[in-house]
Amino acid sequence: MIKNRLFLDALEGKEVTRPPVWMMRQAGRYLPEFQEIKQKYDFFTRCRTPEIVAELTVQPIRRFGMDAAILFSDILVIPQAMNMPFEMRAGIGPWLDKPIQNKQDLERVEIPDVEESLKYVFDAVKATKELLNDEIPLIGFAGSPWTILCYCVQGQGSKTFDKAKEFCFTQPELAHQLLQKITDTTIAYLKAKVRAGVDVVQIFDSWGGMLSPVDYQIFSWQYIDQIIKALKDDVPVIAFAKGCYFALETMAQSDAKALGVDWTIPAKMAREMTAYKKTLQGNFDPARLLSPPQDIQKMVHQMINEFGKDNYIVNLGHGILPNIPLENVKAFVDSVKNYRS
């Protein structure tokens, strides 16, 4: 039985003494202990070594005591397992030598046996659960099919993902075939993660905001919704779509237990668009963690007051930046823990 159930209670819509707090990308680059390990092992070696994953996952918990841990991993482990051999290149980021461009490229994309090809992730979940010792819940995650497609077609990161959008708009049949393959693999992957021991899953639609409201429904949301429906009876699901405030009304009709919101939407508007019936997660601007600690405390308390302490999970509006001072992270987490309505 998990001792600190604040995060799980908030997902279930139960009344809480204060909202829970965790941060996207909390297991990462802003921590000096993370940097020490980074010097010794390349990125995907870190992702594929269960003992390293477990250590990186619990590092922020030891230091700051968040109410949930998120497994150190990457959204690109899924396309790697699907025969798209992504690598992480210095100064560039994700890189795929042969992006998906046509029918022939799509034919080489496999729906893998995830238990075999991604066994290292599930082993890492088990190793992490041992280290956490039932103190707090563990979050597993995956990228949305649209966000994965962006990388698979673009071949690397982009400010516009113009090639990915061109692929969808000029070859929609192929795009939907690829999106469905990613969706099927993601469902199998997340279900296996749940069997391995994760308590919650989050779907990251990092590039959903690249699409118009109409195209978002066509190329992204319908596939996220498939994943939510497939997982809803197994585990609570959080859906986070950056830059997609316009889809909140539709997302609120889904079986997701919580919806993440970024810093571009006011709390009141987010509550109104979701008809006050969903737990919301967010939405502190990650760059605002560069503010003085006393300002961070004031802003966090104001944010909680605006969202309300119940049906709410304190988080950032996107991942933590690598240049955030440790004392500012502590101020953020502590200001939630010290909150009293």
Provide CB contacts within 8 A for 242, sequence distance 6+.
205, 206, 207, 208, 209, 262, 317, 318
* pLDDT of the residue at 226: 98
Provide CB contacts within 8 A for 127, sequence distance 6+.
50, 51, 53, 54
Predicted confidence (pLDDT) per residue in 150-200, tens digit? 999 999 999 999 999 999 999 999 999 999 999 999 999 999 999 999 999
CA 322 to CA 196: how far, in whole Å? 30
Helix boundaries (H) for the chain: 6-11, 32-40, 43-48, 50-64, 77-81, 103-107, 114-117, 119-132, 145-154, 162-170, 172-196, 213-216, 222-231, 248-251, 267-273, 293-307, 326-337
Among 278, 210, 291, residue whose Cα is nearest residue 246? 210
How much of the chain exceeds pLDDT 90, in percent? Answer: 99
Predicted confidence (pLDDT) per residue in 185-195, tens digit? 999 999 999 99
* pLDDT of the residue at 75: 98
Phi-psi region of 25 (alpha: psi -120 to 50; beta: other; left: phi over 0): left
Predicted confidence (pLDDT) per residue in 249-271, tens digit? 999 999 999 999 999 999 999 99
When the pLDDT of each residue in the chain is averaged and rounded to a whole number, the result is 98
- Residues annotated within the binding site for substrate are 25-29, 44, 74, 151, 206, 318
> Helix or strand or coil: residue 70?
strand
- Cβ–Cβ < 8 Å for 182, 149: yes
Angle formed by the axes of helices 326-337 and 50-64, to 10°? Answer: 70
- Cβ–Cβ < 8 Å for 320, 23: yes
Q: Is the pLDDT of residue 316 over 90?
A: yes
Predicted confidence (pLDDT) per residue in 105-147, tens digit? 999 999 999 999 999 999 999 999 999 999 999 999 999 999 9
Predicted confidence (pLDDT) per residue in 10-52, tens digit? 999 999 999 999 999 999 999 999 999 999 999 999 999 999 9
How much of the chain exceeds pLDDT 70, in percent? Answer: 100
> Stretch 315-338: mean pLDDT, rounded?
98
- Residues annotated within the binding site are 25-29, 44, 74, 151, 206, 318
| pLDDT band with cut points at 50, 70 and 90 for residue 341 | confident
Question: DSSP 3-state helix, strand, coil percentages of the chain (rounded to 5)?
Answer: 50, 10, 35
What the chain holds in terms of domains, given with CATH numbers, is 6-337 (3.20.20.210)
Q: Is the dihedral of CA 172, 174, 178, 181 positive or negative?
A: positive
* pLDDT of the residue at 39: 96
Direct distance between the N- and C-terminal alpha carbons of the chain, in angstroms, rounded to an integer: 28
> Helix or strand or coil: residue 280?
strand
> Stretch 309-321: mean pLDDT, rounded?
98
